[in-house]
Amino acid sequence: MKKLLRKILFGNIPVSEYCTVTVDGEIKEKVFLVTGSISLDISGVHWLLCLNPIVFGIWFKDNAQSLPLEENNICEMHFTDGAARPETVAVLKLVVRDRLKESDGTLVLVELKEAAVHHIPFIKSLILYYKYYKKPEQDYKKLKSYSAAYSYPRRVRVVSFREGNWFNIFPMDLVGDIPSSQRYVFGLRHSNVTLNRIIETKKICVSEIPFDYKSIIYQLGKHHREPLSESILPFETIPSENFGFPIPIWANRYKEIRIVRTMNLGSHMLLWGEEVHEKYLHETQGHLFHIHFLHYLHQRRKGLDYPLI
């Protein structure tokens, strides 16, 4: 009965919480920050940095003083599907939490207060929740929050670290590079076993990786919670130029980052860093991205879906 219901509601698409896709060319979706009478396209300059509570970072180049984005101000994010006649799939109500000011811009941190999603009919989303997603740690409100946050593709990268014999390498999608800047922002879980060492040494490496190594990348996911022995890695690594951190030999490029500031966001720690060195290794290929299953269903219905990996 469950299989029949799934086929009637969702066709032959396997139900999951998130879909892994690759993006050929530009990301279709758009994200707009709405505050008062102002609406700004923040598609390429916003990043998900914490999951509990949900916190985004938004980069404003040069100066954000002219925007009503002081602490405790209310604003909204509108996620659209990227169609010729765009449809809004999620609206988030947020409150400004903090600001990280730099000489050339400001990272504004906003915290989610309420989410509304419109990917699929309400009754379908309820059935999906009760049949597949309901767990003690996830109520329907949280499902809406996550599906909204992942209504824009979140790129997966590989982070690596070494200190003496301590070695770790793991995938992340709560990470962003600041356009026209040599800065990176990361959101690492407090449960990550390498977090304190990264903070102490103020060093981290981030690699851009091709989508066709998905299975290997996901095998590394468990090392958020446990250290890794380099001898059991299923691939070769090369040392980064200055830090000597292990880089997958199949990475497209990597950056060595010096951490200059940290901030506790809740379930995750924000790491704010500056690029020390960048090296290209291979020609860029399609990268791996995460989107929520509800968003994938919407995009598929409108013929806007990305290739599943």
Q: Quick one: 210 and 228 in the same domain?
A: yes
Q: State the pLDDT confidence band at 7, using cuts at 50, 70 and 90.
A: low
Give the count of alpha carbons within 13 A of 251, CB side only.
27
81-99: pLDDT as tens digits: 999 999 999 999 999 999 9
- 100, 166: one domain: no
Q: Rounded to the nearest 5 degrees, what angle is found at the Cα of 275, between the Cα atoms of 166 and 270?
A: 65
CA–chain centroid gap for 79, Å, is 15
Of the chain, the percentage scoring pLDDT greater than 90 comes to: 67
What DSSP letter does each residue of the chain carry, written as one string?
-HHHHHHHHHTTPPP-SEEEEE-SSS---EEEEEETTEEEE-GGGEEEEEETTEEEEEEEES--TTSS--TT-EEEEEEE---SS--EEEEEEEEEEEEEEETTEEEEEEEEEEEEE-SS-HHHHHHHIIIII-BTTB-HHHHHHHHHHTSS-EE-EEEEEEETTEEEEEEESSEEEPTTSSEEEEEEETT-TTHHHHHHHTEEEEEE-BGGGHHHHHHGGGGGTS---GGG-SS-EEE-TTT--EEETT-SEEEEEEEEEEEE-SSEEEEEEEEEEEEE-S---PBEEEEEHHHHHHHHHTT-PPPB-
Q: With respect to residue 291, please indicate whether it lies within any of the assigned structural domains.
A: no
Confidence (pLDDT) at 205:
97
3-state secondary structure labels for all residues of 68-117: CCCCCCEEEEEEECCCCCCCEEEEEEEEEEEEEEECCEEEEEEEEEEEEE
36 is a domain residue: yes
Look up the domain containing 63 and give its range.
2-153
**Nearest-angstrom CA–CA distance, 155 and 217:** 13
CATH code of the domain containing 162: 2.30.110.10
Residue 138 has a pLDDT of: 84
Peptide bond into 53 cis (omega under 30): yes
User: Which residue, of 153, 181, 200, is where some domain finishes?
Assistant: 153
Asked whether residue 64 carries a pLDDT value surpassing 70, the answer given is: no
Q: What is the pLDDT of residues 116-141, one digit of tens each?
A: 999 999 888 888 888 888 888 889 89
Indicate whether 122 and 222 sit together in one domain. no
| Confidence (pLDDT) at 90 | 98
The residue written with tokens 């032959």 in the block is 12
| CB-CB contact of 97 with 71 (8 Å) | yes
Question: To the nearest whole number, what is the mean pLDDT of the chain?
Answer: 90
CA proximity to 272, closest of 283, 258, 290, 286: 258
104 contacts 61 by C-beta, under 8 angstroms: yes
Tell me, yes or no, whether 39 and 53 share the same domain: yes
Query: Mean pLDDT throughout 261-269?
Result: 98
Statement to judge: residues 64 and 136 lie in one domain = yes
> Structurally, how many domains does the chain consist of?
2
Q: Which of 50, 39, 34, 14 is nearest to 146 (CA)?
A: 50
Query: pLDDT category, 110, cuts 50, 70, 90?
Result: very high
Q: Is residue 99 situated within a structural domain?
A: yes
Pair 160, 223: CB distance under 8 Å:
no
pLDDT at 8 over 70: no
Q: Do 171 and 149 reside in the same domain of the chain?
A: no
User: Could you tell me if residue 303 is inside a domain?
Assistant: no
Shared-domain flag, residues 77 and 194: no
* Per-residue model confidence (pLDDT) at position 232: 73
Instruction: Give me the amino acid identity at 46.
Output: H
- Separation between Cα atoms, residue 80 and residue 32, nearest integer Å: 8
pLDDT at 9: 63
User: Same domain for 161 and 234?
Assistant: yes
> What's the gap between Cα 178 and its chain centre?
14
Residue 103 inside a domain? The answer is yes
Query: In this structure, are 117 and 177 located in the same domain?
Result: no
Task: Please indicate, yes or no, if residue 294 is contained in any of the structural domains.
Answer: no
Q: Which of 121, 138, 153 is the last residue of a domain?
A: 153
Least confident of 44-58, 154-168, 222-236: 222-236
Domain presence at residue 304: no
CATH number at residue 146: 2.30.110
On whether residue 298 sits in a domain, the answer given is no
Residue in this structure with the two tokens 């497209």, named with its chain if needed? 252
User: Once rounded to an integer, what is the mean pLDDT over residues 9-33?
Assistant: 86
